[in-house]
Amino acid sequence: MRVRGLRKQYDGVTAVDGIDLDVRPGEVFGLLGPNGAGKSTAVEILGGQRTRDAGEVDVLGVDPGRATAAWKDRIGIVWQNTADTPEVSVAELVHHFTLYYERPRDPDQVLEQVGLTDQARKRVHALSGGQRRRLDVALGIIGDPDLLFLDEPTTGLDPEARRRFADLILGLAADGTTIMLTSHYLDEVEVLADRLAVISQGRIVAEGRPRDLGGRASAVSTVHWMSADGPRSLDTDTPSQVVVDLVAEFGGEVPELRVDRPTLEDVYLRLIGATDE
Ligand SMILES: Nc1ncnc2c1ncn2[C@@H]1O[C@H](COP(=O)(O)OP(=O)(O)OP(=O)(O)O)[C@@H](O)[C@H]1O
């Protein structure tokens, strides 16, 4: 996926303000950003669901603005807002979706993967919010896509379902599926994404591997420990050396030793805050 200078306005409101992105085959790419940052708009344009005002977009060698049936066959999409629930069972709906694709996956296996085997005979409208979300993911992957877009796929899922979802995404990625994911859960993006971009007010304010984002890898750490006089802490860019010195000083275990680096959330909030000023 290659994006250059992508722009989109809605009635004078700029939603996407000139973004550049490169996503490599087989990569899990995360888009992070606050409400209204432009994530869904960008993903909708890349998925061929929305027109753009300006910019070049190449997704699997095709301009999504001129999507062909063969291209759509290679794309899977899970949107934030699901359509009305039809009067059919879960299994019927998933089987029905296999008809749209050239080489669909086995529906029963997909239901198993998203954890809906026990609900297969339930009517779709009788599913809970989280079960409905799992069904959306099932419909997104039933066509065995090369590229999967997931717009906030785990909103409303319980912790067990989120973990199952993470395993599912990592499994799809291991099988070679390229995945673009938006999320508000930083811990989730940190685990899943090979690289991520932070979007704020329609612009990319940082991009990189989760562990490097915003200079995180080289940021100052804080070493905490308990001295005879009470709690102590020291800001340092050489935490390992500080720990070695403390071990020598204490002649072994350092009481209540802890080394803190900025979390992805710290970096994210700083990046977002910086653009709000
Ligand atoms: N169909 C639309 N018509 C008019 N304005 C829109 C439309 N869709 C989005 N917007 C506006 O465009 C901006 C970007 O919205 P978008 O939904 O892309 O953000 P987002 O990052 O996905 O937000 P969220 O995290 O809340 O889903 C917002 O200001 C939003 O109000």
The ipTM is: 0.95
Q: Hey, whose CA ends up nearest to atom 11 of ligand 1?
A: 15
Please identify which residue in the block is written with the tokens 């990046």.
271
pLDDT tens track of the chain, all 277 residues?
999 999 999 998 999 999 999 999 999 999 999 889 999 999 999 999 999 999 999 999 999 999 998 999 999 998 776 666 678 999 999 999 999 888 899 999 999 988 899 999 999 989 888 888 889 889 999 999 999 999 888 887 888 888 888 888 898 899 899 999 998 888 888 889 999 999 999 999 999 998 888 777 777 889 999 999 999 999 998 999 999 999 999 999 999 999 998 888 888 888 888 554 4
User: Residues with Cβ within 6 A of ligand 1?
Assistant: 10, 13, 15, 33, 35-41
Mutate-to-test residue for ligand 1 from 9, 11, 13, highest number of ligand atoms within 8 A of CB: 13
Domain boundary assignment for the chain:
2-210, 220-260
Q: Hey, whose CA ends up nearest to atom 5 of ligand 1?
A: 10
CATH of 2-210 among 3.40.50.800, 3.40.30.10, 3.40.50.300, 3.30.465.10: 3.40.50.300
Q: 76 C-alpha to center of ligand 1: Å? A: 21
215: alpha, beta or left? (left if phi > 0; alpha if psi -120 to 50): left
Mutate-to-test residue for ligand 1 from 6, 10, 16, 79, highest number of ligand atoms within 8 A of CB: 10
Q: Hey, whose CA ends up nearest to atom 28 of ligand 1?
A: 36
Q: 78 C-alpha to center of ligand 1: Å? A: 17
DSSP result, 179-245 = EEEEES-HHHHHHH-SEEEEEETTEEEEEE-TTTGGG-TTSPEEEEEEETTEEEEEEES-HHHHHHH
Q: Structure tokens of 4?
A: 């250059």
Q: 49 C-alpha to center of ligand 1: Å? A: 14
